[in-house]
Amino acid sequence: MAEIATKNVVTVRNLLSALEGESNANAKYNAFAIKADADGLRGAASLFRAAARAEHIHAGNHARVILQLGGEVAFKIHEIAVGSTLENLKAALAGEQYEIATMYPGFLAEATAHNNAAAIRTFHNAMEAEKTHARLYSEAIALLEAGSKEAWIARPRDFFVCPVCGYTSETPDEHDRCPVCNTAWDKFQVVR
Ligand SMILES: [Fe+2]
Ligand SMILES: [Fe+2]
């Protein structure tokens, strides 16, 4: 059986915590997408599905590093509280902001202190992708609060998700390559 080196014990614990966070975000966003479709906010539903795809990619990346470091992959999906779509967007934004401002910076500092390149990469990539989600959720909240019924939140819409790091864009040709992980833009997955 694989063993976790002493210097990696805390890193693996942090990876497991991030894996649980990303797996729950994935489940939550998929539930929020169903609610947004039911509310007629089809573009918001597209955004939730795109972000859910990205969180799934993050979870897979974290899981791979856990296994590389000799850990075992495990997580629990918690009960999901589905509110109005505006409430769901705000809850999603708050989750992203926590990951960007608190969780990933802390985990990155620990992985950096132990010079763990694989953990640094997966934490960094996830954190940068979460910034794109925070931006898009903020935009959706502002449109919904302004009562902009003609805005993109009302209509199904394509989003473009990096298959490697989860970077999420509303633009089909924002860059030639992913600005976070350098994957070719034409490899991006289209989520609607
Ligand atoms: Fe996210
Ligand atoms: Fe990427």
Q: What domains are defined for the chain?
A: 6-191 (1.20.1260.10)
Residue 132, token pair as written in the block: 């794109």
State the pTM of this model: 0.97
Ligand 1 midpoint to CA 139 (Å): 14
The pLDDT assigned to 1 comes to 54
**Cα 29 to averaged position of ligand 1 atoms, centre (Å):** 9
Centre of ligand 2 to C-alpha 9, Å, is 27
Give the per-residue pLDDT at 21. Answer: 98
Give the CA count within 13 Å in the CB-facing half-sphere of 181. Answer: 25
Identify which ligand lies nearest to the alpha carbon of 174.
2
Q: Give the tens place of pLDDT for each residue, 145-176.
A: 999 878 999 999 999 999 999 999 999 999 99
Give 151 Cα–ligand 1 centroid separation in angstroms.
22
Q: What does the pLDDT look like over 64-100, one tens digit per residue?
A: 999 999 999 999 999 999 999 999 999 999 999 999 9
Of the candidates 159, 189, 165, 191, which has an alpha carbon nearest to the alpha carbon of residue 179? Answer: 165
Query: What is the token pair recorded at 144?
Result: 């919904």
Ligand 1 center from residue 123 Cα (angstroms): 12
Confidence check: pLDDT of 111 > 90: yes
Å from CA of 67 to ligand 1 middle: 23
31-62 residue pLDDT tens: 999 999 999 999 999 999 999 999 999 999 99
Tell me which ligand sits closest to the C-alpha of residue 132: 1
